[in-house]
Structure 1
């Protein structure tokens, strides 16, 4: 039978806490809901605790094997009958009026796709207010997830259109979901605390911090690209992976872009501050790669120069970085983790811009280092180590620019790409 709200609660080995969480839902002032509990093959008797609650509002399902938090949420989504999906964690507490206030908000504002709230930390009782406006939320997501996920209520039809959680992001799919939500419409927060968020050593963020961070870095990169390309002016270049490979550089580009879009100089000032912070810590301790490295800093700054966000002489701006990079190249190229794509992309940007600025492309440091890299790549190919598609794409671009054409022709021919 249809209800207004489907509360979806995945649970795994939470015998000591799940009862409190269920009680907080059953005691809501708003009662037109169903509670869907998905037990992800718990081994500690959690299913016994859940089954002890007998009532028409609880639908209990148990996975035959452990599939993960977000796969369990997706299963619950497909079972849901409600107009709205309320996210709930089995270790958190919903305030008595949580559902009532969020339903009222979504009913009043039909253009809002999802609404979260502030929270109170458990234990401790520290209040954390959520960012309220859509603008603030979009900008905050450039850096990290700004939502208490178990505070969200989402329109079911929107969640279905987005195909729910991306299960590939095994420990960070909540960040990915809200990034995709804000890209298609308004997401807002009620600043008052409607959930109690529990901190303990068994939550995902504590148990899988390193893997969670890797997924979050990839999600942030995608979101920054999407944000820049959504708000860019008509003649502004599209931003790609290389331009946002350093998170703070990607964030600065996003702020510069939004400053032009909104006409608010405050965002330009924030971008200037971020850029100054990055430049102030440049050293040879920073790896010579795109992701969180010197190559990423340079590629992002070239994008800023190209689109008029910063001004100056390119050779002077990058003199220090070039010195750090080219001093490392011959010591790095034989390493298994050498960033072939990043180096080729960076060199292509520098060579093509020098040509555009009328500074020539012959007998320069960039061409010398490109030739060195191509010779090394040819050596790898002759040993049977074929480059990946990203690297071949860059080789093809150099070939089209008539740069080191004999060597690029050899590489493309050896890989069947000419």
Structure 2
């Protein structure tokens, strides 16, 4: 977990790891130059399994994730953001599947999307390698905070530290042809939906376009990549227009899938255990 100025959310994120039914874990939290109380909050949680690394300046998510991988001691590595939460069975379920299928490098899971006040849907996700990699130049339906994989894979395939956005999509694009991905359909992560930020969205699209172009130059599928680059440009224009009209959030909600009632009940129970203040519906 890398964090930067996540004082409002990191406590619940860490507590959700402490609630895991799998007890043999190590949580590496790297503070990426926070100016708030994020590091003090983590430091105040008494658990010998938590390792806090405080950095005085920001180097970005990709660099900090590579740093965490380098100092990790486990055979498997799970990703998590400092504003999300894990359901208690997350690690046990993902590790069990990875142990059962040694050919898998990276395993995701379902993710429920929530705000401060409500549970609003679940993210689309591919379940097999073929589904996840079906349209690599248009993106991978494989949410980054749900990843759990073999430590050797992460060490052999580091993030590009120069990228400030879409580091996950770039990594998948570079590795999908020689790796095996899959996902559990069960929802094991709560994914926090923050406020829209047009600048960040456009930066993400521009960064992914750069990754696409680099991939095309290396491997040669120029025409499909050019089509995908054009699509990203169109999506950027749509972002500008719809955010300006206040419609983008509505359009994004329509792409979410419904949450089963059983998950909604589990979510309510998890919120209570984590002490989240406002009730979700």
Q: Above 0.5 in TM-score?
A: yes
**For the residues of structure 1 that align with 2:212 and 2:105, how far apart are their CA atoms?**
21
What's the secondary structure of 2:138's corresponding residue?
coil
Deviation at 1:218, TM superposition (A): 2.3
Q: CA deviation at 1:196?
A: 0.5
Task: Specify the SS of the correspondent of 1:56.
Answer: coil
2:216 and 2:99 map into 1 onto residues whose CA distance is 31
- Could you say which residue in structure 2 is the equivalent of 1:183? 177
Match of 2:190 in 1: 196
Whose Rg is larger? Answer: 1
CA–CA distance in structure 2, aligned partners of residues 215 and 119 of structure 1: 24
Which structure 2 residues correspond to residues 69-108 of structure 1 after superposition, within 5 A?
Answer: 69-108=61-100
Distance 1:80 1:173, change over 3 A: same
Between the aligned partners of 2:230 and 2:124, the Cα distance in structure 1 is: 28
| CA deviation vs aligned residue, 1:41-72 (integer Å, no higher than 9, x gap) | 10011111111112110000011211111111
Q: Which structure ranks higher in relative contact order (CA pairs < 8 Å, sequence separation ≥ 6)?
A: 2
* CA distance 1:173–1:105, change in 2 (3 Å): same
| 1:353-386 per-position Cα deviation (integer Å, ceiling 9, x unaligned) | xxxxxxxxxxxxxxxxxxxxxxxxxxxxxxxxxx
CA 1:69–1:56 in structure 2 vs 1: closer, same or farther (change >3 Å)? same
CA distance in 1, matches of 2:180, 2:155: 16
* TM-score, L = length of structure 2: 0.75
Aligned residue for 1:180, secondary structure, equals helix
Name the TM-score, length of structure 1 as normaliser: 0.52
Supply the distance in 2 between the matched residues of 1:249 and 1:21 (Cα, whole angstroms): 37
**In structure 2, distance between residues paired with 1:12 and 1:131:** 29
Q: Which residue of 2 aligns with 1:150?
A: 145
Shift of 1:133: 1.1
Query: Which residues of 2 match residues 207-218 of structure 1 at below 5 A?
Result: 208-218=200-210
Aligned residues of 1:129 and 1:192 also touching (Cα < 8 A):
no
Q: How far did residue 240 of structure 1 move?
A: 4.9
Contact 2:126/2:183 (<8 A) preserved: yes
CA distance in 2, matches of 1:210, 1:141: 19
- The SS at the match of 1:208 is helix
In 1, Cα distance between equivalents of 2:107 and 2:224? 31
State which of 57, 63, 68 in structure 1 corresponds to 2:55. Answer: 63
Query: Does residue 21 of structure 1 match 2:2?
Result: no
1:15-414 equivalent positions in 2, closer than 5 A: 15-123=7-115, 124-125=118-119, 126-162=121-157, 164-201=158-195, 208-223=200-215, 239-241=220-222, 244-247=225-228
Name the residue aligned to 2:236. none
Q: Is the 8 A contact 1:21 1:90 kept in 2?
A: yes
Distance in 2 between residues matched to 1:249 and 1:108, nearest whole Å? 41
Structure 1, unpaired ranges of 5+: 1-8, 230-238, 251-418
For residues 223 and 195 of structure 1, do their structure 2 counterparts lie closer, same or farther at Cα, with a shift above 3 Å needed? Answer: farther
Q: How many residues align?
A: 229
Distance 1:113 1:149, change over 3 A: same
Residues 14 and 46 of structure 1 are in contact (CA less than 8 Å); yes or no, is this contact kept in structure 2? yes
**Structure 1 residues 217 and 96, CA gap change in structure 2 (3 angstroms):** same
Q: Distance in 1 between matches of 2:230 and 2:58?
A: 39
**Aligned CA distance change for structure 1 residues 206 and 57 (closer, same or farther; 3 Å):** farther
For 2:85 and 2:69, the matched residues in 1 are separated by: 20
Give the whole-Å Cα distance in 2 for the aligned partners of 1:94 and 1:21.
7
Cα RMSD (Å) of the superposition?
Answer: 2.3
- C-alpha displacement at 1:241, in angstroms? 4.0
- Unpaired segments ≥5 residues, structure 2: 232-281
Contact 1:117–1:129 (8 Å) recurs in 2:
no
* CA gap 1:65/1:249 in 2 versus in 1, 3 angstroms: closer
- Which structure: greater helix fraction? 1
